[in-house]
């Protein structure tokens, strides 16, 4: 039995953890996901590489934590999905723009997206985040037998905005102001949330 409750003598301190995260975020941002190594981060932060593994498990774990340290994608999405369907497209668009337009969080997220083909764990993390944090939460708010499909279409449009604005950088989409983004994409998102079969709506309304 190790006396894990003994005070002191823990591997590192909250400050150490923060310092690793700051270093990691800076390196992911400037060098990209693939060129950043756990070993390099440890060296620059002046800690043993085993300490980084202890805290974060793996490179993708370190990455996720370093993004989350400056932004909270899951929290942002959860807040946006709260509060009724009426302004849902606008709230989610606002959250997406807040996360991705800010270089501190958007830069690492773009770097992370770029590594999807190199690191299956990263693809899995994005898929998980979209499925659990956005798709499932939106689906719970919709009525009708195809609620999951419509929630999936909603997520797909959000994913499309991220890809064309921040990764492919389609000129028209990358140049849009926040207002343009909301004005341009809200109608499509709203149409997606409605039941696709008018009969179902009519039944509920009559």
The token duo for 108 is 């690492």
Q: Could you tell me if 96 and 186 are in contact, meaning their C-beta atoms sit under 8 angstroms apart?
A: no
- Assess contact for 79 and 95: CB atoms under 8 A: yes
- 150 lies in the site for its own copies, by CB under 8 A: yes
Q: Does 185 bind its own copies (CB under 8 A)?
A: yes
Q: Are 36 and 24 within 8 A, CB to CB? A: yes
Among 13, 30, 31, 156, binds its own copies (CB under 8 A): 156
Q: Tokens in use for 121?
A: 């764990």
* Residues composing the chain: 206
Among 49, 51, 65, 167, binds its own copies (CB under 8 A): 167
User: Which parts of 31-50 interact with its own copies (CB under 8 A)?
Assistant: 32
188 binds its own copies, rule: CB under 8 A: yes
Candidates 12, 10, 8, 111; CA nearest to 64 is 111
Q: Which of 116, 121, 137, 141 binds its own copies (CB under 8 A)?
A: 116
Binding site for its own copies (CB under 8 A): 32, 114-117, 123, 126-127, 130-131, 135, 146, 148-153, 155-161, 163-165, 167-173, 176, 180, 183-185, 187-192, 194, 196
């Amino acid at each position: 039995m190790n006396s894990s409750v003994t005070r002191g003598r823990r591997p590192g301190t909250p400050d150490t953890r923060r310092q690793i995260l700051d270093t990691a975020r800076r390196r992911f941002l400037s060098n990209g996901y693939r060129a950043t190594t756990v070993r390099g981060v440890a060296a620059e932060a002046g800690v043993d590489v085993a300490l980084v593994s202890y805290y974060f498990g793996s490179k993708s774990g370190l990455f996720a934590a370093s993004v989350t340290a400056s932004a909270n994608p899951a929290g942002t999405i959860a807040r946006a999905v709260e509060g009724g369907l009426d302004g849902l497209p606008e709230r989610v668009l606002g959250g997406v723009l807040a996360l991705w337009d800010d270089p501190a969080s958007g830069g690492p997220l773009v770097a992370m997206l770029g590594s999807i083909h190199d690191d299956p764990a990263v693809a899995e993390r994005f898929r998980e985040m979209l499925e659990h944090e956005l798709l499932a939460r939106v689906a719970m708010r919709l009525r009708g037998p195809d609620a999951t499909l419509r929630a999936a279409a909603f997520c797909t449009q959000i994913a499309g905005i991220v890809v064309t604005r921040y990764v492919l950088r389609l000129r028209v989409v990358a140049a849009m102001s926040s207002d343009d983004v909301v004005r341009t994409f809200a109608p499509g998102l709203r149409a997606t949330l409605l039941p696709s079969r008018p009969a179902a709506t009519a039944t509920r309304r009559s």
